């Protein structure tokens, strides 16, 4: 049975949106305040998490965010791994934009669909979002 692993980027005061400031929100760019060594350490944790995962689970907006930033064609260890993994997207509508290989929309009762996914996947299911 699959195990859900939640991977979140959030500041200590609870800010999760606009980590790089690209979206122009008032508290945006908080992620850019950390130093290079910390960013490198964070990236290594994320890469290892992806290498150990058997699937990704995310919402439609997170899926769109990844695709709009080039992850569907990113050519490095992390990008290659994410592209190769099955991606399950919780959404009541179709995915927009370019395809990201191995993406499947989960529609209907979310609890039922994710429970079914956990029974089908043997390993970690990483939640991005």
Give the model confidence (pLDDT) of 28-73 as tens digits.
566 666 778 887 888 899 999 999 999 999 999 889 888 988 889 9
Domain with 42 in it:
3-128
Q: What's the rounded Cα separation, in Å, for the pair 60 and 95?
A: 7
Which pTM does this prediction carry? 0.83
- Give the pLDDT of residue 38: 80
Q: What's the rounded Cα separation, in Å, for the pair 8 and 126?
A: 10
- Kindly compute the dihedral angle of the four CA atoms of residues 62, 49, 37, 78, in this order, to the nearest 10 degrees: -70
Asked whether the beta carbons of 9 and 16 are under 8 A apart, the reply is yes
The CATH number assigned to the domain holding 44 equals 3.40.430.10
Overall number of domains in the chain: 1
Taking only the tens place, the pLDDT of each residue in 76-105 is 999 999 999 999 999 988 777 668 999 999
């Amino acid at each position: 049975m699959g195990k859900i692993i939640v991977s979140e980027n959030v500041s200590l005061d609870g800010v999760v949106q606009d980590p790089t400031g690209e979206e122009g929100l008032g508290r945006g760019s908080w992620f850019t305040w950390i130093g290079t060594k910390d960013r490198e350490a964070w990236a290594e944790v994320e890469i290892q998490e992806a290498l150990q995962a058997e699937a990704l689970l995310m919402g439609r907006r997170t899926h769109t965010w990844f695709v709009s930033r080039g992850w569907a064609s990113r050519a490095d260890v992390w990008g290659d791994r994410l592209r190769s993994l099955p991606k399950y997207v919780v959404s009541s509508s179709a995915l927009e934009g370019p395809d990201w290989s191995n993406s499947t929309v989960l529609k209907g009762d979310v609890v039922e669909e994710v429970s079914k996914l956990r029974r089908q996947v043997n390993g970690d299911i990483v939640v991005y979002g």
